[in-house]
Chains A and B, each alone.
Chain A
Amino acid sequence: MSFLEAGVQGWAIVLTWPNLAYPVVGTLLAMLAAFLPGLSGVTVMAMALPLTLAWEPIPALLFFAALVGGGTFMGSVTAILFNVPGSSPSAATLIDGYPMARNGEARTAIACSAAASALGSTFGIVILVLLLPWVRSLLLSFGPPEFLMLTIWGLATVAMLGRGNWLKGMAAAGIGLLLAMIGRDPQTSEDRYTLGLDYLQEGLTVIPVLLGLFAITETIELMASQRTSIAGELGPGAMRGSIREGIAAVWRNLGLFLRSSAIGTIIGAIPGVGGTVASFVAYGHAVQSSPDPERFGKGDVRGVLAPEAAHDAKDGGSLLPVLAFGIPGSEGTVMLLVLFEQHGIVPGRELMSAHLPLVFALIWALFLSNWLTSLVGLAVSGPLARITVLRTQILAPVILCLAAVGAIATRGLLGDLLVAAAFGVLGYLMRRHAWPRVPLAIGFVLGRPFETNLLLTLRLQELGRIDLLARPIVLTLALLILGTLLLPAWRMRKAA
């Protein structure tokens, strides 16, 4: 069966009633879950796994594909409106999304996020479909050295983010890396910096740290400042920005959108790297490639567009290793893999040949879910944007409570709440004393993969199993890292 025939058959499967209802219901459930603190599409997937055991494979697959695609956008809505990242990858969106909300441009930010999200996921899916025949050889070329270079590329973006004060940015990233090292050493299993506490043996988890650094910090700032609302003194009628402006921003920055989507698709396809790296690398690229980088961090729509496009394009890419090898690239695809097992579907050659229409049905369900999420998001962006003009004294405690619930809801541990509170205070002090928080977040998120892949690469090199100079992807990434580090210096020199 040709890919084209399988693609058409896949569409037919999705559009048949009642099959169509599964991705629609799945999308709406994932959206609702992503808007609630501590919940995500993955949580709903975990809860739905036992419920879908008795289902036929096709409805279960369609439902789960929608859960993978449906949750991503709403996590960014909370990031834009309240500085609360609904999921870790949304942390990159809040850097410019929240300042836009503070400038009264929440509608533009949400609309841009929705448009970039839908188009980015479409880009990812198109690349996924085009690459399906060649996926095996492409994925096998990635090993620890390539992962290491990728994490270093992510860390190199710090050089651009701390442009106001390069020293502080790099030092904050170093602190983030060190915080990620709390817990057992990956090589020797020795406890590091655990203060003798069992809680710290597994290390700090991402959600409480990010909620503390951004959401709790922002709440303290809102409570302590004289601002009457997130959007300052602006009344509902005085709010600037529009849905049209948000959508137009994607077309005005088409090059950036395409590059960010490509970054998201490539990183999404690499197992274990995930959407957070994709979002931050895309954000860093947006800053680096901009002629006016000083506008970022103050509410530039390109700072919303780039991470959103990358984050959603990643969904398509992350399906590649699952379908071809059964290797999950994210939490969502882990759940998808469990679902495959439950229904006796074996990823790999058989799935990619005998069950190709099923593969396409999964891909189209993901496509449908991403578009549905964005359309619903666009429809509700107006009312949602009005939240930013609510009184600070009413909004701040609600955000604080939601952040607290979000922190403990992930694992049900009160220790996570204490960690979020501690990072909230640290974030507030950093903000007060003009230390950038984003490099710390990037260092923290990339710390574990950086250390693990560095140790693996060194060991493989020591054993003579790899030759770094003979690996084209390593060399290409090394050039990109060099370019990322040298470009700001070259720009500064040129400006001087």
Chain B
Amino acid sequence: MIGAGDLGFTLLLAAGVGWLLAQTLQLGPAARFVSLAVIAVTLALILVEAARQLRALSRQREEEAQWPAPRELRALAWVAAIVLLIAGLGGPVGTGVTLAAYLRLEARASWLAAALSGTALCVLVELLHRGLGVPMPAARFLG
């Protein structure tokens, strides 16, 4: 079953490769040689796939629901949150806070369990950073 979302995603990929093509044409002849060949083949394959999906879509009577479900949107929001928290608060604190927040809000863990888990992860990441020298953007709160 193919939905409009499938075709939309294929066209999005085609647009991305098209943008790369526009960028490649601005490069010097030596720099664009390999990229142009790969872009031409990739774009052709994507467009053939888009045409195949369009044909299948036009033959199909009923359309499958393709739009993101609320659960999917919430999962994507959590990924955005972890990125923002780690970037904003620093590696150790950001990961600790994210874990605590998720456990409390999504897994319905108790405040105490969430806080303890978050602190444990924060300490682990900090130990990795300080004890083993793993490069980690410093936590802004811990200094």
Task: Enumerate chain A interface residues (CB-CB to B < 8 A).
Answer: 33, 36, 38-39, 43, 47, 165, 167-168, 170-171, 174-175, 177-178, 181, 185, 187-188, 190, 192-193, 216, 219-221, 223-225, 391, 393-394, 396-398, 400-401, 404-405, 408-414, 417-418, 421, 424-425, 428-430, 432-435, 451, 454-455
The complex places the Cα of A413 from the Cα of B86 at a distance, in Å, of 11
Q: Which residues of A sit under 8 angstroms from B49, Cβ to Cβ?
A: 165, 167-168, 171
**Interface residue ranges of B79-118 to A (CB < 8 Å):** 79-80, 82-83, 86-87, 91, 95, 98-99, 102-103, 106-109
Q: A39-B134, A409-B134 are in contact. Are A397 and B35 (CB under 8 A)?
A: no
Specify which chain B residues have a CB less than 8 angstroms from the CB of A413 in the assembled complex.
137
Contact A38:B13 (CB < 8 A) given known A171-B49, A190-B27 = no
Q: Return chain A residues, CB-CB under 8 Å to B9.
A: 429-430, 432-433, 435
Bound together, the chains give a CA A43 to CA B69 distance in angstroms of 41
A185 touches B42 (CB 8 A): no
Which residues does chain B contribute within 8 Å of A397, judged by CB atoms? 78, 98-99, 102-103, 106-107
B106 cross-chain contacts in A, Cβ below 8 A: 223, 393, 397
Number of A-B residue pairs at CB separation under 8 A? 165
Contacts of A187 in B (CB 8 A): 30-31
Interchain nearest-CB distance for A260 vs B (Å): 29
Q: Is the CB of A400 within 8 A of B121?
A: no
What are 8 pairs between A and B in contact, CB < 8 Å? A39-B132, A174-B39, A175-B16, A185-B31, A223-B106, A397-B98, A400-B82, A454-B34
Interface status of B46 (Cβ within 8 A of chain A): yes
Within 8 A of A (CB), among B33-69: 34-35, 38-39, 41-42, 45-46, 48-49, 52, 69
Task: Tell me, yes or no, whether B135 is within 8 Å of chain A by CB.
Answer: yes
Contact yes or no, A193 B132, CB < 8 A: no
CB contact between A167 and one of B24, B52, B137 (< 8 Å): that residue: B52
Chain A neighbourhood of B143, CB < 8 A: none
Q: Which 7 A-B pairs have the closest CB atoms?
A: A412-B135, A174-B42, A223-B75, A393-B107, A397-B102, A171-B45, A224-B75
Given contacts A39-B134, A401-B82, A433-B10, A185 and B38 within 8 Å (CB-CB): no
Nearest B residue (CB) for A190 = B31
Give the chain B neighbours of A36 by CB distance below 8 A: 128
State A19–B72 Cα separation when bound (angstroms).
54
Find out whether the CB atom of A411 lies under 8 angstroms from the CB atom of B128. Answer: no
Q: Name which residue of chain B comes closest to A394, CB basis.
A: B107
* A188-B30, A428-B76 as given contacts; A178 in contact with B136, CB under 8 Å: no
- Which of B17, B27, B30, B71 is within 8 Å of A224, CB to CB? B71
| Known contacts A170-B45, A193-B20, A414-B86; A220/B75 CB under 8 A | yes
CA distance A186 to B132 in the complex (A): 34
- With the chains together, A177 CA to B37 CA distance in Å? 11
Interface residues of B in 120-134 (CB under 8 A from A): 121, 125, 128, 132-134
Question: Which chain B residue lies CB-closest to A412?
Answer: B135
Most buried by A among B16, B71, B87, B98: B87
Q: Whole-angstrom distance between the alpha carbons of A167 and B106 in the complex? A: 39
A192 in contact with B24 (CB, 8 Å): yes
Cβ–Cβ < 8 Å partners of B27 in chain A = 185, 190, 192
Known: A47-B133, A414-B86, A414-B87. 17 other contacts (CB 8 A): A47-B132, A167-B45, A167-B52, A178-B39, A185-B27, A188-B30, A216-B79, A220-B79, A223-B106, A396-B102, A397-B103, A400-B82, A409-B134, A413-B137, A417-B87, A421-B80, A433-B9
In the complex, residue of chain A having the shortest beta-carbon distance to the beta carbon of B41: A174
Q: Give Cα A334–Cα B128 distance, bound, in whole angstroms.
A: 23
Residue of B nearest to A430 (CB): B9
A190 to B25, CA, bound (A): 13
Contact present for B71 and A223 (CB under 8 Å): yes
| Contact between chains at A409 and B128 (CB < 8 Å) | yes
Contact A424 B75 (CB under 8 A): no
Chain A contacts for B45, CB-based, 8 A: 167, 170-171, 174
| CA of A249 to CA of B76, assembled, Å | 38
Asked if A192 and B134 sit within 8 Å, CB to CB, the answer is no
Q: Are B35 and A192 in contact (CB under 8 A)?
A: yes
